[in-house]
Amino acid sequence: MTNQYAVWTALGGDPALLPAVTAVGRAGTLPSKLPVRELARACVGACALAAAELGARRTGRAGVPAVRVDDGAVAAAFHSERLLQVDGRAPVAFAPLSRFWRTADGWVRTHANYPHHRARLLGALGLPPDASAREVTGVLAGRSALEVEETVYRAGGLAVALRTSAQWAAHGQAAEVAARPLIESERLAPAPPRVLPPLGPAAAPLLPAAGLRVLDLTRVLAGPVATRTLALLGADVLRLDAPGLPELPDQHADTGFGKRSATLGLGADRDTFEELLASADVVVTGYRPGALDRFGLSPRALAERRPGLVVAQVSAWGGYGPWGGRRGFDSLVQVATGIAATEGTAGEPGALPAQALDHGTGYLLAAAVLRALTEQSYDGHARGVRLALARTALWLTREVRPEPAADDAGHAGPDAWLTETDSPLGRLRHALPPVSFADGPTDWSRPPAPCGTDPATWT
């Protein structure tokens, strides 16, 4: 069974459509001890095929448009947040306190890119708000990794002890993750079949998600990648951020292509949110599991108020098990699940060549939404889909099969899949979308704008 077959069938797709997918191999892309190139190719291929399937449904075509997955384009897209430049300035990838640290018995990795996470980390360690990395080094050197993990977590911060694959397998959360499929889906509530307005057989470019409205309640990075992809495919994507908690500027720029961005308090501006929900087709959430439930935004509650809705959720650890309520990011999931230990050398922890858990999960999440929309056009029902970075990590470490690194088209650097676009943020150099199918879009219809600059209304 190929990786593409495994992913496509996990999405509920018809294997008979797989011959529409062809891959272009390029040597040297996403080099890693683990099969990252294979994961990336399979995720993007599945997303492109799901888009082609929905496009065929809406245009009345007998077969799906041909899908082309180019390793070079995929690798560039998986590095999009690193390749982005704003007026020639390179982005800030990680803050100074987001890194590996030696502890008394091993290693711990922290995540402190957001100011509130930095403050909680330093507070948990008993350090002042202006503490330096040198001071953090001194404190952590005298503590065990697991003690730091728990202390920082209880303070609302982010720190994870380095584990081997075997150590993670013995953890209660790993058992819960392994018991779930890569892509979870369910019918949330009865609804009539979705009526998708036909696009016409000569639609150019073919935008399978045209006319669909997507509420984007996500943060870095998997969720925004998914909604950026839906925007590429023609959806009206409206990202909502809390007024006092804007996204980091560089990350917003990278994932804001094709979208509009507004600020909205889910408590204070509840009437506005309900107006948006009343005509939304899809809601995508990427906050800590349960964080939105107190606002009445659980999948079932949303489906009750908006019949036929598709609710897509992504989390770090999954919304279950002992870590079900914890925050997390790609870098931390790599550390907990044994990936950082596997990729390390000479006793030093390592990392994947890209934030592959984030990007891969993002394309799978978009694919799951597209497949749900297609299925709704036949038999209705509100749908819920869920993915977790930790489950994607399990897939990478245990289930993705290495494939021969055939070089079909020769090596090419990332510049071949970069372009430049003028925007309200400045002149942007950015990666082109890797999702490619016959007659499909080749770039986004609009550049990103500063966070919160658009009204909280549908176009």
What string of DSSP letters covers 139-190? HHTTS-HHHHHHHHHHTT--EEE---HHHHHTSHHHHHHHTS-SSEEEEEE-
Report the alpha-carbon distance of residue 221 to residue 219 in Å, rounded.
6
Amino acid identity for residue 85 in this structure: Q
Rounded Cα distance, 206 and 441, in Å: 7
CB 231 within 8 A of CB 259: yes
- φ and ψ at residue 158, rounded to 5 degrees: -135, 115
Q: Which residues contact 138 (CB under 8 A, 6 or more apart)?
A: none
Q: Are 181 and 136 in contact (CB under 8 A)?
A: no
* Beta carbons within 8 Å of 345's beta carbon, 6+ residues apart: none
Annotated catalytic residue 358: yes
Active-site pick, 236, 254, 330, 358: 358
> How far apart (Å, rounded) are the C-alpha atoms in residues 75 and 129?
38
Dist. CA 117–CA 127, nearest whole Å? 14
Contact 254, 81 (CB under 8 A): yes
Q: Report, as residue numbers or ranges, the catalytic residues.
A: 358
